[in-house]
Amino acid sequence: MKLEQGMKFLLIGDSITDCERAKPEGEGLFGALGKGYVAFVDALLQSVYPELGIRTVNKGISGNTVRDLEKRWQEDVVDQQPDYLSIMIGINDVWRQYDTPFIKDYHVYIDEYKETLEALIKKTKPLVTGLVLMTPFYLESNEKDAMRHTMDQYGEVVKQLAEKYDCLFVDTQEAFNIILKELYSATLAWDRVHPTATGHMVLARVLLKELGFDWNKS
Query: Mind telling me the catalytic residues?
Result: 15, 191, 194
Determine contact, residues 190/144, Cβ cutoff 8 Å: no
Distance between CA atoms of residues 128 and 49, nearest Å: 21
Amino acid residing at 105: D
**Secondary structure string (H, E, C) spanning the chain:** CCCCCCCEEEEEECHHHHCCCCCCCECCCCCCCCCCHHHHHHHHHHHHCHHHCCEEEEEECCCCCHHHHHHHHHHHCHHHCCCEEEEECCHHHHHHHHHCCCCHHHCCCHHHHHHHHHHHHHHHHHHCCEEEEECCCCCCCCCCCHHHHHHHHHHHHHHHHHHHCCCEEECHHHHHHHHHCCCCHHHHCCCCCCCCHHHHHHHHHHHHHHCCCCCCCC
